[in-house]
């Protein structure tokens, strides 16, 4: 009986050799060519510890595949085999691709980003992780921003230096003495298990490859460029076969500066370094997973690059700036950090649910995407903030964001553009697909508001729409009715969304 794997699933080859190497991570070259219907794809393997080498492959075609392994290790060289790729299972839409200014699964299903943040939930105990996954699913989040490396708290709120330690570390040698040429497979296996769990729930893992939150605690940020590229090669070879992987080059890439951190590659604001990383991933990820780079200060939103598939930015402005970035980059734009709902003393973590909801709605009304986060310190324990460690979501915005996504799913979202006529940029906002479909959002009550709906070239046409009015704060449909927006008087209250679908 032949091996089978579903399309966009993971085919894994497990190999071994009796030969010993000084550093099997760097000394052994291992790759395989996969063939189907005249197409060939080459992917690289990796050392998984304990004398085991693996090659992972995500088939993008159905039917019969054959492969041949090449290695500088004679025992693994020239191994061949075949396997069968079956149609994808029902919830498997394939990897997410950029299509114009939007995202689409490989099977053509539109992907509407509803992101949230849980930086290092992946190394917390199982019970907490289960609650975290339940929170993601409960509110329909489908993209999680998560750091690969452990994160150390430091900052101007009351959780200084009380971070949780991970159960193991990403490299051999341990804290303050890492050998960056020797990854610790245990840490990587732990991380990729989380990626798989997200995949099973239909959630994209936005993997943040580098970050500056070490503060001398582990000295992971002492990597130089050569170390960084070795790490990249290893993580790409391990993770890229998972269809739900995204690559975020950095969190707050511009937080450091050259002067403060000589030789610390990932703490440099020097964009040349990040370009090296971006180009490396573009050249070496066989599947072209989404790639972006996340900033801290406004002026340093990463400029456009060929390696960048979409824009990831941090800024509390989700509307005007989003529109500007969309125009400038002509790529999908995600506001990946518009400040968090929470109760911290600092403005980055004390937004109300209302402000969070407003910012998220406005990212949508700008034709863009956004990522939410919760920064509530709960009870006496000032560590267990969802934004960092996961747990249970407690904020009031998450259910409303779920509802937001449900509303957008009723719209021809990717075909909609800003409708200038019914948008004042502060109180009411509109997107439309021609005059066939409108999505309106009202932040404030507007008395006697006239909607300018219908074909501009025929202002007297008697158009009729199926309308649905949504209470976006209380997550319920107010009413569904048929209206003639050019003659019917419509009462609009604050925090209402309306969809209008042309009947005739």
User: Which one of 345, 474, 482, 494 is in contact with a copy of itself (CB under 8 A)?
Assistant: 345
User: Which one of 319, 340, 435, 438 is in contact with a copy of itself (CB under 8 A)?
Assistant: 319
**Interacting residues of 413 by C-beta distance below 8 A, sequence separation 6+:** 102, 110, 112
Query: In the complex, what is the shortest distance from the CB of residue 255 to a copy of itself, in angstroms, rounded to a whole number?
Result: 11
Which residue in this structure is represented by tokens 């150390």? 152
Query: In the complex, what is the shortest distance from the CB of residue 396 to a copy of itself, in angstroms, rounded to a whole number?
Result: 16
Query: In the complex, what is the shortest distance from the CB of residue 234 to a copy of itself, in angstroms, rounded to a whole number?
Result: 35
Residue 38 or 299: which CB sits closer to a copy of itself? Answer: 299
x/- mask, a copy of itself, residues 251-290, rule CB under 8 A, reads ----------------------------------------
Are residues 145 and 334 in contact, defined by beta-carbon separation less than 8 angstroms? no
Does 2 bind a copy of itself (CB under 8 A)? Our answer is: no
User: Which one of 85, 249, 362, 416 is in contact with a copy of itself (CB under 8 A)?
Assistant: 362
Q: How many CB atoms lie within 10 A of CB 503?
A: 12
Residue 327 or 476: which CB sits closer to a copy of itself? Answer: 327
Q: Give Cα separations from 313 to 94, 254, 265, 322 (angstroms).
A: 25, 12, 21, 9
- Binding footprint of a copy of itself, residue count (CB under 8 A): 34
Does 346 bind a copy of itself (CB under 8 A)? Our answer is: yes
Q: C-alpha 221: how far from its chain's center?
A: 23
Q: Is 316 exposed, middle or buried (0-12, 13-18, 19+ CB in 10 A)?
A: middle
Q: Is 14 exposed, middle or buried (0-12, 13-18, 19+ CB in 10 A)?
A: exposed
User: Which one of 155, 316, 464, 501 is in contact with a copy of itself (CB under 8 A)?
Assistant: 316
Residues in 443-472 that interact with a copy of itself by CB under 8 A: 446-450, 452, 456
Which residue in this structure is represented by tokens 């066939």? 436
Cα 152 from Cα 160, distance rounded (Å): 9
Are residues 25 and 182 in contact, defined by beta-carbon separation less than 8 angstroms? yes
Does 320 bind a copy of itself (CB under 8 A)? Our answer is: yes
Cα 295 from Cα 84, distance rounded (Å): 43
Residue 70 or 271: which CB sits closer to a copy of itself? Answer: 271
Cα 195 from Cα 205, distance rounded (Å): 6
Among 92, 8, 47, 77, residue whose Cα is nearest residue 235: 47
Stretch that binds a copy of itself, among 166-174, 228-236, 306-314, 317-325 (CB under 8 A): 317-325
Query: In the complex, what is the shortest distance from the CB of residue 404 to a copy of itself, in angstroms, rounded to a whole number?
Result: 17
Instruction: Provide DSSP, 30-96.
Output: EEEEEEETTEEEEEEEEE-STTEEEEEE---S-EEEEEEEEESSTTTTT-EEEEEEEPPPTT----E
Cα 387 from Cα 121, distance rounded (Å): 9
What φ, ψ does residue 156 adopt, rounded to 5°? -100, 25
Stretch that binds a copy of itself, among 277-285, 352-360, 379-387, 403-411 (CB under 8 A): 352-360
Query: In the complex, what is the shortest distance from the CB of residue 187 to a copy of itself, in angstroms, rounded to a whole number?
Result: 34
For 340, the 3-state DSSP assignment is: coil
Q: CA dihedral defined by 159, 160, 162, 163, rounded to 10 degrees?
A: 90
Stretch that binds a copy of itself, among 122-130, 278-286, 357-365, 375-383 (CB under 8 A): 357-365
Tokens of 490: 């419509």
Does 334 bind a copy of itself (CB under 8 A)? Our answer is: no
Strands 245-250 and 291-292: parallel
Residue 272 or 456: which CB sits closer to a copy of itself? Answer: 456
Does 487 bind a copy of itself (CB under 8 A)? Our answer is: no
Instruction: Provide DSSP, 444-494.
Output: S-BTTPPP--S-TT-TT----EEEEEEETTTTEEEEEEEE-TTTS---B-S
Residue 297 or 474: which CB sits closer to a copy of itself? Answer: 297
Stretch that binds a copy of itself, among 230-238, 292-300, 396-404, 476-484 (CB under 8 A): 292-300
Stretch that binds a copy of itself, among 28-36, 145-153, 166-174, 341-349 (CB under 8 A): 341-349
Stretch that binds a copy of itself, among 126-134, 171-179, 262-270, 346-354 (CB under 8 A): 346-354
Does 358 bind a copy of itself (CB under 8 A)? Our answer is: yes
Query: In the complex, what is the shortest distance from the CB of residue 320 to a copy of itself, in angstroms, rounded to a whole number?
Result: 4
User: Which one of 30, 250, 266, 321 is in contact with a copy of itself (CB under 8 A)?
Assistant: 321
Tokens of 134: 């339940």
User: Which one of 106, 197, 425, 466 is in contact with a copy of itself (CB under 8 A)?
Assistant: 425
Residue 165 or 260: which CB sits closer to a copy of itself? Answer: 260
Stretch that binds a copy of itself, among 192-200, 245-253, 417-425, 461-469 (CB under 8 A): 417-425
Q: Is 294 left (phi over 0), alpha (psi -120 to 50) or beta?
A: beta
Does 427 bind a copy of itself (CB under 8 A)? Our answer is: yes
Does 359 bind a copy of itself (CB under 8 A)? Our answer is: yes
Instruction: Provide DSSP, 269-327.
Output: --HHHHHHHHHHHHHH-TT---EE---SSGGGSPPP-TT-SSEEEE-S--SHHHHHHHH
Residues in 293-312 that interact with a copy of itself by CB under 8 A: 297-299
- Residues of this chain that bind a copy of itself (CB under 8 A): 297-299, 315-321, 323-324, 345-347, 350, 355, 358-359, 362, 420-421, 423-427, 446-450, 452, 456
């Amino acid at each position: 009986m032949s091996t089978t794997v579903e399309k966009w699933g993971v085919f894994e080859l497990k190999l071994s050799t009796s030969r010993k190497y000084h550093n099997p991570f760097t000394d052994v070259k291992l790759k395989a060519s996969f063939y189907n219907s005249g197409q060939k794809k080459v992917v690289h393997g990796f050392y998984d510890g304990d004398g085991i080498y693996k090659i992972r492959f995500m088939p993008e075609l159905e039917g019969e595949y054959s492969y041949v392994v090449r290695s500088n290790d004679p025992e693994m060289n020239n191994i061949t085999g075949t396997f069968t790729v079956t149609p994808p299972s029902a919830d498997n839409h394939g990897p997410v691709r950029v299509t114009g200014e939007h995202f689409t699964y490989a099977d053509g299903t539109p992907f509407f980003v509803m992101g949230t943040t849980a930086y290092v939930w992946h190394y917390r105990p199982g019970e907490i992780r289960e609650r975290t996954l339940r929170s993601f699913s409960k509110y329909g989040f489908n993209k999680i921003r998560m750091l690969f490396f452990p994160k150390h708290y430091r900052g101007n709120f009351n959780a200084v230096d009380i971070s949780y330690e991970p159960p193991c570390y990403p490299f051999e040698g341990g804290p303050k003495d890492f050998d960056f040429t020797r990854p610790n497979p245990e840490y990587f296996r732990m991380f990729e298990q989380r990626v798989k769990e997200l995949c099973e729930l239909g959630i994209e893992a936005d993997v943040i490859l580098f970050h500056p939150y070490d503060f001398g605690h582990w000295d992971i940020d002492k990597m130089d460029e050569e170390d960084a590229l070795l790490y990249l090669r290893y993580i790409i070879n391990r993770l890229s076969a998972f269809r739900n992987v995204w690559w975020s080059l950095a969190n707050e890439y511009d937080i450091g500066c050259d002067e403060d951190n000589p030789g610390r590659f990932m703490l440099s604001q020097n964009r040349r370094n990040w370009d090296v990383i971006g180009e490396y991933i573009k050249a070496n990820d066989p599947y072209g997973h989404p790639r972006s780079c996340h900033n801290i200060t406004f002026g340093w939103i990463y400029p456009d690059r060929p390696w960048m598939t979409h824009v990831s930015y941090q800024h509390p402005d989700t509307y005007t700036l989003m529109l500007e970035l969309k125009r400038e980059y002509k790529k999908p734009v995600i506001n990946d950090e518009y400040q968090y709902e929470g109760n911290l003393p600092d403005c980055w973590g004390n937004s109300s649910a209302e402000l969070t909801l407003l910012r998220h709605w406005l990212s949508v009304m700008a034709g863009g995407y956004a990522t939410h986060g919760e920064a509530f310190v709960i009870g006496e324990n000032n560590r267990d903030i969802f934004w960092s460690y996961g747990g249970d979501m407690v904020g009031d915005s998450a259910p409303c964001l779920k509802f937001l996504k449900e509303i957008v799913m009723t719209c021809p979202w990717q075909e909609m553009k800003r409708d200038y006529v019914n948008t004042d940029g502060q109180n009411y906002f509109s997107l439309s697909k021609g005059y066939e479909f409108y999505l309106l959002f009202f932040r404030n009550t507007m008395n006697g508001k006239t909607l300018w709906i219908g074909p501009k070239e025929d202002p007297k046409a008697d158009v009729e729409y199926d309308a649905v009015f949504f209470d976006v704060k209380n997550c319920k449909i107010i009413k569904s009715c048929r209206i003639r927006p050019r003659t019917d008087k419509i009462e609009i209250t604050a925090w209402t969304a309306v969809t209008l679908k042309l009947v005739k």
